[in-house]
Amino acid sequence: MSTAKKEVKRVTTHVLQRMKENNEKISMLTAYDYSMAKIYDEAGIDVILVGDSASNVMAGHETTLPITLDQMIYHAQSVVRGIKRALVVVDLPFGTYQGDSKKALQSAIRIMKESGAHAVKLEGGKKISDSIERILKAGVPVMGHLGLTPQSIYKFGTYTVRAKEEEEAKTLLSDIKLLEEIGCFGVVLEKIPAKLGKEASESIHIPTIGIGAGKHTDGQVLVSHDVLGITKEFNPRFLRRYMNLYEDIKGAIENYISDVKAQDFPSEEEQY
């Protein structure tokens, strides 16, 4: 039997670019901790996003705004320890990059240095292009994020589909072109009409990853708590659930509680 370790071919931004060129779809999911990241990585996920949705699903906040840079770094460190293959992208949280490109660079450098992640993601187009360019100049790969950008929820007022009107669609198309031109390696497109998702994806050479942006983007991303059915109240049209973990975990915990109460656990075999 060979003792040679099987070499794991890491997913890089270049691999994602080749996947777009070869018409191979990119799979991306959020993760926020070591154990889940390890499972997703072993399952073969291409990209893990340490999303600021951690603010919602891990910390219980209503929006993504409260999460801090230190908290994002903690989640990113935990995820990086669990992966061998996937590309790890980390969200720059609200307030760490808007309107101050020097601060943006410092935030990105902290994430890269302290977590060992491979790239950062920022929400917005032209309005934050100074920050993106500065980060890119330092050699940090950047993923863009257009359409519904949850850090601007108080400006939008709702989480409904974005860019249904021509003017907003036009802005999105010019923003995505700009993100490609300045050197982003990919762009997340969130909650926009499928037709616009297709047009935007075909208008650039870098990969697009959609969440509620239709089937023609170059890849798909979902929040893992939604995919696993942990967030059972959240039911947007774009979501496909692959498990009902909320019910499964609740059932398991109820069984555990009743075993303890009935003195059925631990048994003779489960003690020393």
Rule CB under 6 A: is residue 79 a binding residue for ligand KIV?
no
Tell me if residue 269 is catalytic: no
Rule CB under 6 A: is residue 122 a binding residue for ligand KIV?
no
The CA distance from 13 to 242, in Å, is 27
**Piece in contact with ligand KIV (CB under 6 A), picked from 51-59, 66-74, 166-174, 263-271:** 51-59
Q: Which of 24, 181, 190, 199 is catalytic?
A: 190
Q: What is the DSSP letter of 65?
A: T
171 membership: H or E segment, kind and range: helix 166-182
Using the rule CB under 6 A, which residue among 221, 226, 228, 230 binds ligand KIV? 221
Rule CB under 6 A: is residue 108 a binding residue for ligand KIV?
no
Distance of CA 51 to the CA centre of its chain: 4
The CA distance from 62 to 57, in Å, is 9
219-222 and 26-30 strand pairing: parallel
208-211 and 87-91 strand pairing: unpaired
Q: Smallest distance, Å, CB 255 to ligand KIV?
A: 32
Site string for ligand KIV, 11-50 (x = CB under 6 A): -------------------x------------------x-
Amino acid at 54: A
Q: Smallest distance, Å, CB 267 to ligand KIV?
A: 42
The nearer residue to ligand KIV, 136 or 227, going by C-beta atoms, is: 227
Q: Which residues of 173-190 are buried (b: 16+ CB within 10 A; e: fewer)?
A: bebbeebbeeebbbbbbb
Q: List the catalytic residues.
A: 190
Contacts to ligand KIV by CB under 6 A = 30, 49, 51-53, 91, 188, 190, 211, 221, 223
